[in-house]
């Protein structure tokens, strides 16, 4: 039964049931590791006074102003990342349309860009769906929060997050191969990139889902408990992809310096290398720093700062991707300019 505070399991008459305080009390107090107890009677569960619940779960009844500020902060964070993902979604869809319209832009490099765009589009959609299921529909505040549909939404959400990191890794791998491999067959490597970008997350998320189902099957799988070691099945490959990208980042810089400073290289080729590397070199540190900073810090530490970095700033990553890989792309600008010129010439 759901009593607006927590979900109580079935019990026999006369049985006393004790549960831990709901995790959401951590938003209001650092001391939320208490217990709540009720007795099952012939007339139903015994009632608990709201003040007793607050005291048992560490809620500061005298801190109304602080709690209101926290509530306002969380609401502002939700508005912030909703705006961010909306802007990213519109920008990414526009970028994909542009890359699809112009046939001259159809190449392996831009195909990889489009897959990266799709991963961020799916991530934005997953965030919106998760918010609807957990908050607007009310599954988070109901005993049915552990339903299959709710868990599928969280699995899809985690998959999209990992896929965006893996496709960023593919961008780094592609650029490094293009610069380092003498005879580089783009079509041959493209299948491997597809396997890494979409297949890699599938394997790890499937393993995480199995671990959650058998060992940490609590609620909707959206809460990260301190003893939930299955979370590292998701964290470890993401950290590994970021680490590999930083290593590639250093190697790419070294290769570029050698190629650009080479006296045998032409000016056009030098400009091509610089233009090709600019976007990836900006994205690698941009998308990895915040995850590395908070990866080994407990979820309850620096919650406000974590929310700002992970949710608000992270929500604009798709917009940054679209700008760097499409809107600031010199080839796109040249094609757009030539199209405009052609349309203004009199017949």
Q: Which CATH superfamily is domain 64-342 in?
A: Rhodopsin 7-helix transmembrane proteins (1.20.1070.10)
Residues whose CB falls within 8 Å of the CB of residue 225, separated by 6 or more in sequence, listed in order: 23, 216, 218
Q: Average model confidence (pLDDT) for the chain? A: 76
Strand (E) or helix (H) holding 20:
strand 16-20
Give tens-digit pLDDT for 248-269: 878 877 877 776 666 655 555 5
**What pLDDT is attached to residue 44?**
84
Please state, for a pLDDT cut of 70, what percent of the chain lies above it: 65
Tokens, residue 205: 């998320």
Q: Give the pLDDT band (50/70/90) at residue 334.
A: low
Does this model's pTM top 0.85? My answer is no
Partners of 16 in the beta sheet? 39
Q: Give the pLDDT band (50/70/90) at residue 340.
A: very low
How far is the C-alpha of 259 from the C-alpha of 253, rounded, in Å?
10
How far is the C-alpha of 48 from the C-alpha of 4, rounded, in Å?
12
How far is the C-alpha of 279 from the C-alpha of 328, rounded, in Å?
9
**What pLDDT is attached to residue 191?**
87
Please check the confidence at residue 94 and state whether its pLDDT lies above 90.
yes
Place of tokens 């490959």: 237
Which of 198, 121, 111, 205 has the alpha carbon at shortest distance from 163?
198
How far is the C-alpha of 264 from the C-alpha of 26, rounded, in Å?
62
Q: CATH 3.20.20.220: does it fit domain 2-57? A: no
How far is the C-alpha of 89 from the C-alpha of 87, rounded, in Å?
5
Which of 120, 76, 119, 77 has the alpha carbon at shortest distance from 316?
120
Q: Residue 7 carries which DSSP code?
A: B
Give tens-digit pLDDT for 123-170: 999 999 988 887 655 444 455 555 788 889 999 999 999 999 999 899
**What pLDDT is attached to residue 270?**
58
- Is residue 18 a contact partner of residue 48, using CB atoms and an 8 Å limit? no
Structural domain boundaries of the chain? 2-57, 64-342
Give tens-digit pLDDT for 73-92: 777 888 888 899 999 999 99
Give tens-digit pLDDT for 264-295: 555 555 566 666 556 555 655 555 555 666 55
Shared fold status for 2-57 and 64-342 = no
Please state, for a pLDDT cut of 90, what percent of the chain lies above it: 19
């Amino acid at each position: 039964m759901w009593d607006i505070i927590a979900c109580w399991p079935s019990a026999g008459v006369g049985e006393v049931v004790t549960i831990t305080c709901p995790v959401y009390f951590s938003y209001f107090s650092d001391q939320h590791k208490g217990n709540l107890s009720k007795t099952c009677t012939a007339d139903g569960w015994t009632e608990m006074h709201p003040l007793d619940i607050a005291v048992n779960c560490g809620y500061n009844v005298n801190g109304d102003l602080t709690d209101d500020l926290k509530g306002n902060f969380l609401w502002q964070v939700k508005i912030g990342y909703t705006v961010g993902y909306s802007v990213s979604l519109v920008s990414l869809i526009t970028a994909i349309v542009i890359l699809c319209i112009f046939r001259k832009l159809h190449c392996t490099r831009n195909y990889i860009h489009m897959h990266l765009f799709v991963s961020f589009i799916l991530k934005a959609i997953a965030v919106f769906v998760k918010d609807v299921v957990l908050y607007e529909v009310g599954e988070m505040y109901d005993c049915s929060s552990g339903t299959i549909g709710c868990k599928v939404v969280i699995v899809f959400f985690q998959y999209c997050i990992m896929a965006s990191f893996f496709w960023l890794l593919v961008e780094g791998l592609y650029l490094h191969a293009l610069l380092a491999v003498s005879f580089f067959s783009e079509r041959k490597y493209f299948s491997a990139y597809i396997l890494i970008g979409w297949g890699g997350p599938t394997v790890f998320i499937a393993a995480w889902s199995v671990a959650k189902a058998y060992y940490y099957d609590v609620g909707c799988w959206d809460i990260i408990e301190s003893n939930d070691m299955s979370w590292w099945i998701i964290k470890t490959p993401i950290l590994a992809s970021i680490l590999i990208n930083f290593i590639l980042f250093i190697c790419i810089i070294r290769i570029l310096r050698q190629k650009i400073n080479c006296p045998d290289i032409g000016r056009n080729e030098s400009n091509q290398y610089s233009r090709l590397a600019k976007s990836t070199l900006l994205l690698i540190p941009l998308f990895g720093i915040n995850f590395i900073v908070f990866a080994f810090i407990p979820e309850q530490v620096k919650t406000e700062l974590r929310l700002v970095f992970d949710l608000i700033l992270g929500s604009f990553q798709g917009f940054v991707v679209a700008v760097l890989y499409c809107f600031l792309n010199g080839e796109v600008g040249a094609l757009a300019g030539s199209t405009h010129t052609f349309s203004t010439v009199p017949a």
